[in-house]
Structure 1
Amino acid sequence: MTTTTHVNPSPVPSPVPSPVSGGNRAGGRRALSVLIAVAASAALAAPVATAAPAGKTAPAGKTAPAGKTAPAGKTAPKPPGGASTPITWGPCKGDPPMPDPGPQAECGTVQVPVDWSKPNGPRTGIAIGRQKATDPAKRIGVLMVNPGGPGNSGVESAMYADNPIDGYSAELRQRFDIVGFDPRGIGRSGSAVCDDTIFGKVPTHPRNAAEFEKVRTLNAQAIRSCIQGTGPLAARMDSNSVVRDMDAIRAALGERQISYLGHSYGTSLGERYSKLFPGNLRTMVLDSSVDPNRSSAERYLTDTAVTANTSLKALFSRCPADPACAQPGLPKGKKLTAVVDELFARADAGTLREPGPNGPTRTKVTPDQLTELLNGIAGNGYLDYATERLAALYSGKGEVRFFDSGPVNAAIPLVLCRDHDYRIRDYAEYQAIRERVARAAPYVRYNDQSLSFTLACQGSPLPVEPRPAQAAGALPPVLVVNATYDLATPLAGARRMARAIPTATLHEVNTTGHVLYLMDGVKQLIDNHLINRTR
């Protein structure tokens, strides 16, 4: 079943961040830092307070101290093999510049096998955070949350769950223990260490067969550097392994079942958990859903580019009634889609220049820079933002800033490329895909984030893990929520997610944005489902 909320197709109140790279750097090496899988050019904040640098934990793959407390709550089903001892809780510390959370936040570690097929083999620590239900008499149980990524800190989602700006609602915190975790190899769960200098050498826009092969070669070298710097855990960061870690956390908490709220890439974890452990799931909400079965790089690239293209056209269609379209520098009476066509023609010809205060500068604007700018406009959703930048580019007078997102974060090849098969045979196939995508989305040509992620998967020496088969057990009611114009997790993928889960209801929100929990109306819808398990 699908329901729809019709709102003005403008951005959700809570902005969405672009991917970030960096983290702890020393001597050309890095630990994985946060990365939210969202529209690459949207410059906004996460749905929950999670943007602190990665924690300073022991190297990934090494054994951390196990908890020694007795299990709490009812007898719970144990995960298959390798289950952790219960958790020892202690105070949480914020990573600068984030402040320490309040005393209600507590943190601990759960021990799990590095390789779940070898439950008695080496172990690694999964960092978890918790805020207990504020009204124990009304407590329903545990709500496990994951803010996405791959690479974002779920520990911090729990630590700052009571943040009045971007935390979870008072009603949700009253009824649930909010529990979050840093996925294996991420943040406090033993940050994977890679050679950053190799990632920085990977061509971002290969123009010929030689450059495409260079992408493959350097990606393979970069991933091997992660394995060398981290140990065996770097090759075991796929979501199937993370989902088994989630069930080990459930068992260590002494819970028979958990409720789950996943945002962005966290929806992939929720869907896989529902397949492997349906009986251990009370209910689930998937906010801004990853396509559970991205069958190819082409479908991923097409869905995300078409969404950006459609979002841009919907934004431009508001022009006749909006004074923002009378922007000085734009030709009178000319449709903005025609302006975009002309800008691309000039960029292709090498005659489009960066604007300056007194007229065009000597610096050329490439077609790729124009695409990145247009993706940003499509994800932003404000018409005045769009017309100001288009007018500056068209007239040559004004200011437009172009941002280099830098090398892809290592969480992409170590996680996303393990979960989805984005491999492309050779440069000829790559070029053919690019041409078909551009025809389907002529006003952006491609989605810059999804292209970056796809290229990061080329040449990976690690195999793609198959989606798990559906285990026996009754599935609870599941709510899937998605924006119509979501450049990171397109509506087409959310519809496939809802079809993949027999008990799912899809709620479409006619707006621009990614991660909708903070949006008025949507928050109440999600809270109501989690508390009451309504369809």
Structure 2
Amino acid sequence: MYTTPLKLAVMAASVIFISACSSDDAAETPVDALVWRSCEARPNLECTTLKVPMDYTRDASEEITLGINRLPALEQPARGSILVNPGGPGGSGMALVEALSETDSIPSRIRNAFDIVGFDPRGIGRSTPVDCSEFASDGASIYLVDRAAIASYANEAIAVVQACADKYGSYLQQLGSRNVVRDMDEIRIALNEDTLNFIGYSYGSRLAGLYLQHYPETSGSLILDASMSPVSQVMTLTEQALPAMQKNLFAMLAQCDQFAEACNADDLHQQLIAKANSLRDAGNAEEADLLTEVVVLAIQSPELGDFLIGPLLTYLQTDDYSEIEVTLNLFGFDEEDLQGEDDETATLAVLCADDASRPTVDELEAALSRFNNVSDLLAESSVAQAASCVGWPQALEPLPEITTRNAPTSLVIAGASDANTPQRWSEEMASSIGGYLVVSEHRGHTGVFTEVSDCLDEIAEQFLLEQKLPDTDRCEANPE
């Protein structure tokens, strides 16, 4: 359910999501609020900052700083701006714009007409960031095989919650999606735009849906690519994603006969389960976690999965991990990525601000049983994900199901084989917000302007430039 398959480390923070007085009623930021300068490390980009209230419910709230950058339109003055979010939660919009500036993936008509604007959501990157990595436990395995493992995981998480809350205090109570959407409207105002054009990838689609719900009159052309569900409960989303994960797992394992004549997917699946269990039983939880993360990464990134089958077979036969490591490095991943070295404070702050549920050990044990009925290999790590909000204080204003009938028609993109955000979520979101759904046959996660489908890019281009909806509801992938 995330844009990256990295494990959710056992860390959390106290959060109370408050929005009794929203930015819908806030005074507009002055038009000249943004002062753009050439970015130090990226002279082809422009950077700025914007002050926004930490707590929108208070008239005299302390302010925080949002980091913003833009890739200027090739033809100035620009027709307008397109705000982008890469997902997560926890992804950097500024990093996304930096990456886009180095490719030709954006159609020329879009580049000519629009400034592409990125921002780091509050708590992330260059937007008054939070970091509780010093409190994370090195011994917290995500391979939760039984009640005792679940209870130990929960107890360690609770301790980290308190330490992180002591460090950041009330700021951690203001990092939920509703506040991020308020910030987005403040950015719109500061950009002097009458309406907001926005591309939200993966979790960013939740921001798009919320913006459409709360700001229908200033909603422009919004694209939800690889959409999240309109509901926000972590347990529900984890359970709903598991069948798609399992389906993609077997699609990957079915390729093993290309590397070993007698190999079949069922046998390889059982070997992986046996290996993970034997590692855990031998007290090698770190390697069990690593194996699980490699498999999850391969499921969510099918192109990587194509190359990992051979190294996985070698590892199961010889315990030699080196071929896996080489393959991961070729695709830009390293062991730190898999072991959750990146701080997840803001990720969990958002998830648990949006979700009111706080699962108990009993509920997680029951979930383990249900998950095992779907996937023996992925159940244990999925329970760790479902436990993300264990020990967190009650959210005062969790997100209800996103729904609107007053907003303009948005464009919702689903990947037919997407294991990160299953197709059903895009279908449900499109139904809830009155969006136009397009299902794409590309492999992997997001699709718009990622060079996986010319059909998708043409649809997005026409929608952004002309507000034109497509004549089709399906797109083929580009030849590989």
Normalised to the residue count of structure 2, the TM-score between the two structures is 0.80
- Of the three residues 306, 317, 321, the one matched with 1:395 is 317
Task: Name the counterpart of 1:378.
Answer: 299
Select which of 158, 161, 171 maps to 1:223.
Answer: 161
CA RMSD, aligned part only?
3.3
How do 1:331-350 and structure 2 match up within 5 A? 332-345=261-274, 347-348=276-277
Instruction: Verify the 8 A CA contact 1:483 1:491 in the aligned structure 2.
Output: yes
C-alpha change, 1:40 and 1:447, in structure 2 (3 Å) is: farther
Moved more, 235-244 or 195-204: 195-204
1:154 to 73, 84, 93: 93
Aligned mate of 2:213, from 271, 275, 279: 275
When structure 1 is superposed on structure 2, of 213-222 and 492-501 the one drifting more is 213-222
Say which SS state the counterpart of residue 412 (structure 2) adopts: strand
2:354–2:395 contact (8 Å) kept in structure 1: no
Q: Structure 1, residues 208-252: CA drift from partner, whole Å, max 9, x if none?
A: 555544434443443344343334222100000110111111112
Cα distance, 1:159 vs structure 2 = 5.0
Contact 1:129 / 1:179 at 8 angstroms: preserved in 2?
Answer: yes
Aligned partner (choices 37, 43, 60) of residue 3 of structure 2: 37
Q: Which amino acid aligns with 1:90?
A: W
Which runs of structure 2 are paired with 1:348-359 in the superposition (5 Å)? 348=277
Contact 2:253/2:269 (<8 A) preserved: no
Quote the residue 2:195 is aligned against. Answer: 257
What are structure 1's unaligned runs of at least 5 residues?
1-18, 20-35, 42-77, 354-361
| 1:271–1:381 CA distance, 2 compared to 1 (3 A) | same
1:410 aligns to what?
Answer: 345
- Equivalent pairs, count: 436
Say if 2:103 is the partner of 1:164. yes
Task: Provide the rounded CA distance (Å) in 2 between the counterparts of 1:83 and 1:226.
Answer: 33
Q: CA deviation at 1:364?
A: 9.5
1: CA distance, partners of 2:285 / 2:195: 57
1:433 Cα shift? 0.9
Q: Which stretch has the larger CA shift, 390-399 or 123-132?
A: 390-399
Q: Is the counterpart of residue 304 in structure 1 residue 241 in structure 2? A: yes
Say whether the 8 Å CA contact 1:79–1:248 is kept in structure 2.
no
Contact 1:420–1:464 (CA under 8 A) maintained in structure 2: no
Structure 1 residue 420: Cα displacement? 2.7
Cα 1:326–1:128 change in 2 (3 A) is: closer
Equivalent AA in structure 1 for residue 422 of structure 2: P
Q: Shift of residue 201 of structure 1?
A: 5.4
Q: In structure 2, do the counterparts of structure 1 residues 530 and 379 end up closer, same or farther at CA, with 3 Å as the change threshold?
A: same
TM-score (ref. length: structure 1)? 0.72
Q: 1:339 to 1:351 in 2, by over 3 A?
A: farther
Match of 2:43 in 1: 101
Is 2:458 aligned against 1:524?
Answer: yes
The alignment status of 1:420 with 2:359, answered yes or no, reads no
Compute the displacement of 1:255 (Å).
1.6
Secondary structure of the 2:115 match is strand
Q: State how far apart, in whole Å, the 1-side matches of 2:289 and 2:62 are.
A: 45
Offset of residue 464 of structure 1: 6.2
Contact 1:272–1:468, Cα closer than 8 Å, also in 2: no
Q: Which has the larger radius of gyration?
A: 1
CA distance in 2, matches of 1:533, 1:258: 13
SS at match of 2:460: helix
- SS of residue paired to 1:395: helix
Aligned to 1:52: none
Q: Which residue of 2 aligns with 1:289?
A: 227
Q: Distance in 1 between matches of 2:403 and 2:433?
A: 13
Distance 1:170 1:533, change over 3 A: same
Quick check: 1:457 aligned with 2:389? yes
Aligned partner of 1:124 in structure 2 is 64
Show the counterpart of 2:75. 135
Distance 1:469 1:326 in 2: 45
Map Cα deviations across residues 422-454 of structure 1 (whole Å, 9 max, x no partner). 53122x321221121121124x33384x54443
Q: Secondary structure at the match of 1:418?
A: helix
| 1:27-78 residue CA offsets vs partner (Å, 9 max, x unmatched) | xxxxxxxxx732349xxxxxxxxxxxxxxxxxxxxxxxxxxxxxxxxxxxx8
Match of 1:88 in 2: 34
Which runs of 5 or more structure 2 residues have no equivalent in the other structure?
A: 8-22, 326-334, 470-480
